[in-house]
Amino acid sequence: MPEDPAPTDYRAYVLNEDDHIIDRHDFTAADSAAALAHAAQYVDGHDVEVWLRAHVIGRLKHKR
């Protein structure tokens, strides 16, 4: 039976209205979908970009 892949380190950057980083959260997730779901908790009046190493996985926008 193959082993489960190791969790991967992701970063969630909380952005202000000018797209400047105002906070950073480091976490592990099994895959990009799980990382986006995890990062949704940081969307509280600000957009959040989720990164895996040097690649943007996605951007979660807050509701205006």
Return the pLDDT at 53: 92
The pLDDT, as a whole number, for residue 1 is 53
pLDDT of 5 above 90? no
* Domains of the chain, residue spans: 8-60
- Tell me the per-residue pLDDT of 13-55, one tens digit each, with 9 for 90 and over: 999 999 999 999 999 999 999 999 999 999 999 999 999 999 9
Amino acid at 15: L
pTM value is 0.86
Residues 25/12, Cβ–Cβ less than 8 Å: yes
- What is the pLDDT at residue 3? 58
